[in-house]
Chain A
């Protein structure tokens, strides 16, 4: 056991978070599915001609919501950038399970590391700027008046996750291989730090990063974050 109590609790909280997330989202989706459906379709015209067109319209409305550009260009730009960057950052974290050998075999390990540094760094910065935009927007009228505490809590949590993530990306001499050892140890239910992290101050950054993610994931099913899944359901109603 080479972990300090705080880091250990954070690691254990990962399991709690996953369970809460799965149970919470299942509960939420069951509530949605079980709720009575209105007998009439109150979609918006013109409606898609057939199921095939409708399917693609729902995807387009959910992923791109192009009509929003016309009324709120900057919000659309930041929303798209933020979500896209989030997706890239999330995909990058899969390196922590298993190295992307299918890429390093082609371009070499050194180039993959560079790609990770540049790509991860870029999306990390994009997300920070998007969060600053979100926050400034929340603080200005008339958005201030319609915002609720939940909106700020989520921005703070995201800022912590992304800020600490960026810190690990840009500073210190711990790299992917070491983080992978930590991540895999959690996956194997034997949470532990690799030797390199035990004495490094970076472990605090890592633990706070993971703690923020834990809280974010726990909060997910009970907050507006369910829009990640609910958007498809809601946009479907529009096309019916």
Chain B
């Protein structure tokens, strides 16, 4: 049992989270369960707890307890539950942090119920109840800590980046090429992930496209968002927003990271209650623009093997880029073959929503990623391109587990490898 104050705090959070969308979703669901087979997690586990309608039902039970007249008069009949219901909270934890947020169920639902939105309320409640995912919280706190102590990290970061400049000069054939950091007056701030794999290929492309850019000292990934804690998520995003404001850039390009682009382009506005004073572009879109406008040239038909493309949920269905990455891949690959189904109907890789960072869910994500593995096998592709770090890490795991014998590449890597110097 939770103490009274804590219960009241949870009810308050539930009340704050009630908005139009949530009400529609909680009120209209007919539990028809058409969403059943839309979810890769139910389809591979056959556990009813993973049916999107059931996940939403858990939140509906809490909602009925506090906001529905009938739920209060007939708690048994309406199965309404109090926020201190341990069994409910445990189940809520299980199904909420397992959800990858792919929103495939929303696509198939007759009422377009956004289960991920409902589960964002679940996450806020779990965080307030002190039942959030520990791993995601630690990662989020580490990001915040880095933001607060950037002076400690700055010199090491710069020296590591400078060490890799010779490689960049070799790759671009430009002896002047560099990776600018903290450059005031730059037009573009490029936000990468931790690790050179997301910096070097982008540096090659941005230099070849002659963009006046600078590299962010922070990584794009936002574990606060996965955790479902908007206060932490905002703090993490603030690091980048503050940096962009300080350097007075006009545009922020977010690396190939599904949720990071959405956080900056959509969610930040909701958390901060103001639009950031710069344009937010996804790297996928920027690369597409460079090739289309002739700012960079790629070797057409340079790759002869079958190449396929995995639509990251946050880039495709939830981010809006379907044709841009395909245009880029097709301009390099001779044999491009789509997965089936693809685009809006694409299966989630199984590792989204921060799942790849949660050790206790490793077995689960490998099991539920089987659909993706089967899809890849079906194409006979040797290379799979996907512009999302989360997806690529999961695809790496699937590659080993299901012996796919496939090479996994980010879009920027695929382009940088085949760029005309």
Chain A contacts to B: CB under 8 angstroms: 28, 31-32, 35-42, 44-47, 61-62, 65, 67-68, 70-72, 75-76, 79, 141-143, 145-151, 222, 224, 226-227, 230-231, 233-235, 237-238
A residues less than 8 Å from B78 (CB atoms): 148-150
Distance in Å: Cβ of B58 to nearest Cβ of chain A: 10
CA distance A75 to B32 in the complex (A): 8
A5 to chain B, nearest CB (A): 28
Restricting to B315-339, which residues have a CB under 8 Å from any CB of A? 316-320, 322
Given the known A-B contacts A72-B34, A148-B78, A235-B112, are A39 and B322 also in contact in the complex, defined by CB atoms under 8 Å? no
Q: A39-B273, A141-B48, A222-B70 are in contact. Are A146 and B31 (CB under 8 A)?
A: yes
- Chain A residue with Cβ nearest B16: A36
Q: Within 8 Å CB of B25, what residues of A? A: 234
Tell me how far the C-beta of B68 lies from the nearest C-beta in chain A, rounded to whole angstroms: 8
Write out the residue numbers on chain A whose beta carbons fall within 8 Å of the beta carbon of B304.
none
Contact A146 B53 (CB under 8 A): yes
Contact partner of A40 (CB less than 8 A), chosen from B36, B109, B269, is B269
Interface residues of B (CB under 8 A from A): 18-25, 27-38, 42, 46, 48, 51, 53-54, 57, 68-70, 77-79, 103, 106-114, 117, 266-267, 269-270, 273, 316-320, 322, 344-345
Minimum CB distance partner of A230 in chain B: B28
Q: Contact at B18–A42, with CB atoms within 8 Å? A: no
Q: Which of A42, A75, A226 interacts with B21 by CB under 8 Å?
A: A42
For residue B34, which residues in chain A have a CB less than 8 angstroms away from its CB?
Answer: 68, 71-72, 75-76
Q: Which of A39, A47, A62 has the most CB of B within 10 A?
A: A39
Q: Say which residue of B36, B38, B113 sits within 8 Å of A142 (CB atoms).
A: B36
What's the least CB distance linking A108 to chain B, in Å?
A: 41
The verdict on A45 contacting B79 (CB below 8 Å), with A38-B20, A231-B28, A237-B112 known, is no
**A32 contacts B24, C-beta separation under 8 Å:** yes
User: How many residue pairs bridge A and B at CB < 8 Å?
Assistant: 148
Q: In the complex, which residues of chain B have a beta carbon less than 8 angstroms from the beta carbon of A145?
A: 48, 54
Q: Smallest distance from the beta carbon of A127 to chain B beta carbons, Å?
A: 16
The secondary-structure label for the interface of chain A is: helix
Q: Least Cβ distance of A76 to chain B in Å?
A: 7
Contacts A38-B20, A38-B21, A148-B78 given; indicate if A45 touches B112 (C-beta within 8 A).
no
Q: Which residue of B23, B29, B112 contacts A224 across the interface (Cβ within 8 Å)?
A: B29
**Which one of A38, A76, A147, A151 lies within 8 Å of B270 (CB-CB)?**
A38
Instruction: Report the bound CA distance from A149 to B77 in whole Å.
Output: 6
**B103 nearest in chain A by CB position:** A44
Q: Taking A45-B320, A62-B110, A70-B108 as given, write out 4 further A-B residue pairs in contact, using a Cβ cutoff of 8 Å, ordered by the A residue number.
A: A42-B114, A142-B36, A145-B48, A147-B31
Which of A36, A45, A143, A235 interacts with B322 by CB under 8 Å?
Answer: A45
**A46 partner, pick from B54, B112, B320, beta carbons under 8 A:** B320
Task: Return chain B residues, CB-CB under 8 Å to A68.
Answer: 34, 108-110
Do residues B266 and A46 form an inter-chain contact, with CB atoms below 8 A?
no
Query: Residue of B at shortest CB range from A61?
Result: B112
Q: Which 6 A-B pairs have the closest CB atoms?
A: A238-B112, A65-B110, A142-B48, A230-B28, A45-B320, A227-B28
With A36-B19, A79-B32, A148-B78 given, is the CB distance from A44 to B273 under 8 Å?
no
Q: Which residues of A contact B318 (CB under 8 A)?
A: 44-45
For the complex, what is the distance from the CA of A37 to the CA of B21, rounded to whole Å?
A: 7
Query: Which chain B residue lies CB-closest to A37?
Result: B20
A35's partner among B23, B46, B107, B111 (CB-CB below 8 A) is B23
Interface centre among B51, B54, B109, B112, by most A CB within 10 Å? B112
Does the CB pair A227–B21 fall under 8 Å?
Answer: no
Contacts of B114 in A (CB 8 A): 42, 237-238
Q: Which residue of A lies closest to B33 (CB)?
A: A143
A76 contact set on B, CB distance < 8 A: 34
Using A143-B33, A149-B77, A227-B28 as known contacts, say yes or no to A40 and B270 having CB atoms under 8 A apart.
Answer: yes
Q: How far is the CA of A143 from the CA of B33 in the complex (A)?
A: 7
Contact between A35 and B322 (Cβ–Cβ < 8 Å)? no
Give the shortest distance, in Å, between A124 (CB) and chain B (any CB).
22
Instruction: Decide if B344 touches A45 in the complex (CB within 8 Å).
Output: yes
- Distance between B45 CB and nearest chain A CB, rounded to angstroms: 11
Contact of B111 among A37, A147, A151, A235 (CB under 8 A): A235
Q: Is B103 within 8 A of A148, CB to CB?
A: no
Query: In whole angstroms, how far apart are the Cα atoms of A68 and B106 in the complex?
Result: 11
* 20 examples of A-B residue contacts, CB within 8 angstroms: A35-B19, A38-B19, A42-B21, A44-B107, A44-B112, A45-B316, A45-B320, A45-B322, A45-B344, A61-B110, A61-B112, A62-B110, A67-B107, A68-B108, A68-B110, A143-B33, A146-B51, A148-B31, A149-B79, A224-B29
